[in-house]
A and B are shown apart, each in its own frame.
Chain A
Amino acid sequence: MFYCRVVGESQERLTTHTIDFPYTRTLGPVFSEFLTGMRDGKLVGIKGRDGKVICPPTEWDPETGDALGNDFVEVGPGGVVTTWAWVTEPTPKHPLDKPFAFALIQLDGADTGLMHAVDAGSIDKMSTGMRVTARWKDDRIGHITDVTFVPEAG
């Protein structure tokens, strides 16, 4: 799909191209559990071989590459921001339509970080080590965007 228009004093013609790929991907046993949890308002991790809890869960142990069993554990809903970046101008594809932070969040009970959006209102409210908690959508479909995070009250 294209459109073309004349722009500016130079009267150049600008073309716009739009490419859409409507994929559906299968999730496999582990992401299925993770996103089914999302749909049900739960955050799910998986136990690694060394007993550490990995969230988001993986099918394989990140240390050894061994296949993991189905040892799922519920984590969160609170957690700690371990690093973050402020997004000043969100694009239409971003999870929030106002400035927000992309943060690595180590959820309570997990030993790894989940990258997700924190709706803090302003950059001044963000800090490494701050506590955040899950804010669930009412209409959840089993997708990573079913949840965003907000600073924990108090």
Chain B
Amino acid sequence: MAESQAADLNAPVVGMDYHMHVQYHEVLCPVMREFADALMDKRLIGHKCPQCGLIYSPPKGYCPICVVPTDKSHELELQQRGTVTNYTIVTPVQYHGQEETDRFAKASLQLDGGGTLSLQDLLEIPVDDVRIGLRVEAVWASDAERNVDEVTNRSWGIGESAIRGWQPTGEPDVPADELPTNVF
């Protein structure tokens, strides 16, 4: 719908606000539903490929590298402690709908015991101190606040509504050359 135009009632109308708004609903697919249900129980789950052994979290229901299906029998619970393997510092541009105003980091994590997560928020650490090798642990939203609103069928990240983010454990950094190089 149109928003208000220029205030000058005598000037020609030369532009038109056109607000395109699309809303749609979809049911979470079975593996994402299992993942969302586990998050509500403060558990982090993934599927381990029976062929190559890579762990996908959120689970996909298949290994895209080996092209083999995975199911509940390949499910395992991941540890909630890990290491930053890479990160991006985002400087928000104030476009329509941008809610962030300050710089923030999104990190890729290698979890202890296997499994990775991408696009995770880091808490309790200044953006400029974020580094590869940093040891972190999950900070869950409280029972009252925890939800899975941000989990979708196409989640790469899992949002911040269940796990608020990851905070430094205080352990010594892991040297970069000791970190795995896999994304998953």
B-binding residues in A (CB < 8 A): 1-4, 12-27, 31-33, 35-36, 38-39, 93, 141-143, 145
Check if A22 sits within 8 Å of B23, measured CB to CB. no
* Given A17-B23, A18-B23, A20-B20, A36-B28 contact (CB < 8 Å): no
A-binding residues in B (CB < 8 A): 1-2, 4-5, 9, 12-28, 32-33, 36-37, 96-97, 147-153, 159
Nearest chain-B residue to A7 (Cβ)?
Answer: B27
Of A2, A4, A14, A24, most buried by chain B (CB within 10 Å of CB) is A4
- Out of B14, B17, B28, which one reaches A4, CB within 8 Å? B28
- Residues from chain B with a CB closer than 8 A to the CB of A14 are 25-28
CB distance from B9 to the nearest CB of A (A): 7
* Given A2-B150, A27-B13, A27-B14, A143-B20 contact (CB < 8 Å): no
Nearest chain-A residue to B27 (Cβ)?
Answer: A12
* Given A4-B28, A12-B33, A15-B152, A23-B18 contact (CB < 8 Å): yes
- Out of A16, A22, A31, A38, which one reaches B17, CB within 8 Å? A22
A-B contact pairs, 24 of them (CB 8 A): A2-B159, A4-B28, A4-B36, A4-B150, A12-B33, A13-B148, A14-B26, A14-B27, A15-B27, A15-B28, A15-B151, A19-B20, A19-B23, A20-B22, A20-B96, A22-B17, A22-B96, A23-B19, A23-B20, A27-B15, A33-B12, A141-B5, A143-B5, A143-B16
Bound together, the chains give a CA A29 to CA B8 distance in angstroms of 18
* Given A22-B17, A23-B17, A32-B12 contact (CB < 8 Å): yes
Q: List 14 other contacts, CB 8 Å, given A12-B28, A15-B152.
A: A12-B33, A13-B36, A13-B151, A14-B25, A14-B27, A15-B26, A17-B24, A18-B23, A19-B22, A20-B22, A22-B20, A23-B19, A93-B21, A145-B2
- Residues from chain A with a CB closer than 8 A to the CB of B37 are 13
- Residues from chain A with a CB closer than 8 A to the CB of B18 are 23-25
- Residues from chain B with a CB closer than 8 A to the CB of A4 are 28, 36, 147-152
- Residues from chain B with a CB closer than 8 A to the CB of A31 are 16
- Residues from chain A with a CB closer than 8 A to the CB of B150 are 2, 4
Bound together, the chains give a CA A21 to CA B16 distance in angstroms of 13
CB distance from A119 to the nearest CB of B (A): 17
Check if B152 sits within 8 Å of A36, measured CB to CB. no
Bound together, the chains give a CA A93 to CA B17 distance in angstroms of 14
- Residues from chain B with a CB closer than 8 A to the CB of A35 are 13, 16
Bound together, the chains give a CA A85 to CA B10 distance in angstroms of 36
Check if B13 sits within 8 Å of A142, measured CB to CB. yes
**What are the nearest 6 A-B pairs in CB distance?**
A142-B13, A143-B2, A21-B20, A13-B28, A3-B149, A23-B18
Nearest chain-A residue to B151 (Cβ)?
Answer: A4
Nearest chain-B residue to A13 (Cβ)?
Answer: B28
Bound together, the chains give a CA A25 to CA B33 distance in angstroms of 41
Bound together, the chains give a CA A141 to CA B11 distance in angstroms of 11
Check if B4 sits within 8 Å of A141, measured CB to CB. yes
- Residues from chain A with a CB closer than 8 A to the CB of B19 are 20-23
